């Protein structure tokens, strides 16, 4: 071959390779963008969400299981109710409220970075574009029969030292793209797996269902400082979430749907979650870098 043709030929091959790589990357990018557009469209329909969950904190030598319910109100109000031991948590924007009835104490604290609380909303967030700027977020394929679509969230390499988790995996239903499982892999070889059950979309709830009731005698600690001891008939915190009229429950409470001792809704005895949800070995596998 003429030596004078080698350099142009090499340049041509290199250009073709770059074009093919660019086309593939563009196709991959378009597929990812299409997925997130569908994800956003599915979330736009959700204004209120109520679900039961089973959470398993998985340590090297034991598994600690808790059950509870959550209430999500768009855009940024989520209430967790843990049944045993009792604990109530409200998260809104950068503020977190944690109430433990056993010791009659509520701790309120603010986070410096809203990204920390954004991760709490990851299972129900409408738009992931803001988080995509802070984390490596990509669609993945799963083998679970409940849904084969998922989302993997990892810190960028240069940010790994700033966060406590290695990966968050969101397992999604094929039809609704709503979550049925959330898996968090931490750096300390501890994993958290949360299975969501009995998800109700846009059901009617009461304003107090978006709050925590504090009885008299509760100590309030805000940002590490004692603030007050609740007196009188107690109070609810924070201010109730703003609910659209169509989601406002104004009916009288019944025996199966009455206000509990701490202002929360008691669970329907006929809808108790199963004690165990199967965790396969693949669910606990070590994250591969």
pLDDT digits (tens, 9 = 90+) for 268-284: 333 334 444 555 555 55
Give the Cα separation of 127 and 174 in Å (integer).
18
Quick one: pLDDT band at residue 288, thresholds 50, 70, 90? very low
Q: Which has the higher per-residue pLDDT, 259 or 157? A: 157
The tens digit of pLDDT for each residue in 171-196 reads 998 888 888 999 989 878 789 999 99
Biggest alpha carbon–alpha carbon distance for the chain: 96
Mean pLDDT, residues 45-72 taken together? 91
Q: Judge whether residue 209 has pLDDT over 50.
A: yes
Percent of the chain whose predicted confidence (pLDDT) is above 70: 71
Question: Rounded to the nearest 5°, which phi and psi values hold at 14?
Answer: -60, -40
End-to-end CA distance of the chain: 45
The pLDDT of residue 282 is 53
Range ranked top by mean pLDDT from 42-46, 125-129, 168-172, 184-188: 168-172
180: its two tokens: 């049925």
pLDDT band for position 114 (50/70/90)? low
Specify the pLDDT at position 276. Answer: 47
Q: Is the dihedral of CA 183, 186, 191, 194 positive or negative?
A: negative
**pLDDT, greater one: 66 or 2:** 66
Which structure tokens are listed for 195? 């299975």
Q: How far is CA 2 from the centre of its chain?
A: 63
**Higher model confidence: residue 114 or residue 266?**
114
Position 279 scores a pLDDT of 57
Mean pLDDT of the chain: 77
The answer, yes or no, to whether residue 266 has pLDDT greater than 80, is no
CA pair distance 197, 194, nearest whole angstrom: 10
Listed ranges 30-34, 81-85, 143-147, 232-236; the one with the highest mean pLDDT: 232-236
* Residue 7: per-residue pLDDT: 47
Domains and CATH numbers, the chain: 47-284 (2.50.20.10)
Cβ of 11: how many Cβ atoms within 10 Å? 10
**What is the 3-class SS of the chain, one letter each residue?**
CCHHHHHHHHHHHHHHHHHHHHHHHHHHHHHHHHHHHHHHHHHHCCCEEEEEEEEEEECCCCEEEEEEEEEEECCCEEEEEECCCCEEEEEECCEEEEEEHHHCEEEEEECCCHHHHHHHHCCCCCCCHHHHCCEEEEEEECCCCCCCEEEEEEECHHHHHHCCEEEEEEEECCCCCCEEEEEEEECCCCEEEEEEEEEEECCCECHHHHCEEECCCCEEEECCEEEEECCCCCEEECCCCCCCHHHECCCCCECCECECCCCCECCCHHHCCCCCCCCCHHHHCCCCC
Q: What does the pLDDT read at residue 231?
A: 94
For the cut 50, the answer to whether the pLDDT of residue 246 exceeds it is: yes
Is the pLDDT assigned to residue 12 strictly greater than 50?
no
């Amino acid at each position: 071959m003429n030596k004078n043709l080698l350099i142009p030929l090499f340049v041509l091959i290199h250009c073709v390779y770059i074009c093919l790589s660019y086309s593939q990357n563009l196709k991959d990018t378009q597929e990812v963008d299409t997925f997130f557009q569908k994800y956003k469209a599915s979330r736009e329909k959700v204004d209120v969400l109520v679900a039961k969950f089973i959470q398993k904190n998985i340590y090297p030598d034991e598994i600690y299981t808790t059950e509870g319910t959550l209430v999500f109100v768009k855009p940024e109000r989520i209430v967790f109710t843990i049944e045993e031991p009792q604990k109530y948590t409200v998260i809104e924007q950068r503020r977190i409220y944690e109430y433990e009835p056993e010791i009659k104490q509520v701790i309120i604290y603010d986070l410096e970075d809203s990204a920390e609380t954004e991760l709490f909303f990851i299972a129900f967030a409408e738009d992931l574009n803001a988080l995509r700027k802070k984390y490596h977020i990509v669609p993945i394929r799963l083998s679970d029969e409940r849904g084969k679509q998922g989302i993997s969230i990892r810190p960028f390499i240069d940010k790994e030292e700033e966060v406590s988790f290695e990966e968050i995996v969101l397992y999604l239903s094929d039809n609704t793209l709503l979550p049925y499982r959330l898996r968090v892999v931490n750096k300390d070889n501890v994993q958290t797996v949360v299975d969501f059950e009995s998800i109700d979309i846009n059901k009617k709830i009461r304003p107090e269902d978006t709050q925590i009731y504090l009885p008299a005698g509760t100590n309030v600690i805000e940002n590490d400082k004692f603030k007050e001891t609740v007196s009188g008939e107690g109070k609810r915190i924070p201010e109730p979430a703003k609910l659209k009229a169509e989601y406002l429950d104004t009916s009288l409470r019944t025996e199966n749907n009455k206000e509990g001792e701490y202002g929360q809704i008691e669970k329907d005895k006929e809808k108790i979650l199963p004690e165990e949800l199967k965790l396969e070995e693949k669910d606990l596998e070590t994250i591969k870098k």
